[in-house]
Structure 1
């Protein structure tokens, strides 16, 4: 009994438990975002009034901008595959029991990530979006990382080096989910501070915008790398620190998910 309790409280199990906690909260948040995209944008698409998309996103559909409008629609459609399918790729039991499903969903995920990145880059650089320049550069860097990580994930999967493949696939998941992390972080910040702090809501510029523009993918990546280190060769103390870090990040993430769901997503469904 004592050994069983000791094993349950081991450093490795602390890390494992924190990751499961993160996965559950993240999946709930990601699928809420998918519901918002499908029922919000999809609802207007079914009704045939795509101009109503502008109620959900500024500059979604513009007059006489066929390429821009197509890029925006593609960006939304493929985001459903990326945000909705990503969590399914992270379930070991599903991957092991249905390897063909995992492979085909993985291919669809990566192709969708590449295409939506190209669409997003077109929107921020070639379409008038009135975004802060720092956010444009941050999104561009994220796009470069999506291509680099995604191609490496595909390369190692094709070479059947699955251990390495899974690490690059996880890195791809983090950077491809930046659009979601941004919303969760931004609305969580608004809720915690009870209003805009650290940025000008009119120009959408300021130190907080600069921070979150890069933090939306660099912080998740940093925590992922800490997890890899803890899993490989870290001491028990480092593993416990890693578990606490992941759990703390998850709690902050949960606040953001609640905030953006209540303020933005659920009212739009």
Structure 2
């Protein structure tokens, strides 16, 4: 299990684990959890530790304070405006986003407030998104002369091209309801219901075989980039491999015997 030393209010990210669910909380509340270079590195380190922990079945990504994540730290960017810093910043941020996709465990973004620019990218990179009715989403880079090119990658893999282009070209702030309607968000609930809604969803997923969920997540993102014939060929191979796992055998037997399965992760 993750060491409790990571539970430090001065850390840029906070980690807590309960019932096989890890909550990873962004912790720059006064800066609306802007993704500074140290913040990106802290998230990446936390994801590496989570990925290695077999006791963690689901991850909840949340933000401390008034915002979920406001994107990159523009003040830091202005203070370090040179090619080496810029290349390192966006490279590390992209690698961090990819770690979310490649994580063994599914990740649920719990968006209680604004998720803008790279913050919108962060939410879109998660496997599921639950939002408060007060949450808002935007890719506003065009408004300051910096097109949201990297957020665009995650956004265009979550919503249709036309809706993505509307967000990217206007830079407008969109409501949680709109985000739900275009497929960026899975659930929109009242503010006071967000915690319980996310917890219920996480517990439901955590009750499944962690091995099966990991296999399925990895296969989902790989097949979606393939042509349909190659996708079926790949999925057939994954299905056969999955079928031979002990958890698949246990799950099938439990279903036939009308009992709860006992997962071993093998």
Query: Which TM-score applies when normalising by structure 2?
Result: 0.28
Higher RCO (CA 8 Å, separation ≥ 6 residues): 1
Q: Which of the pair is proportionally richer in helix? A: 1
Q: Which has the higher strand share?
A: 2
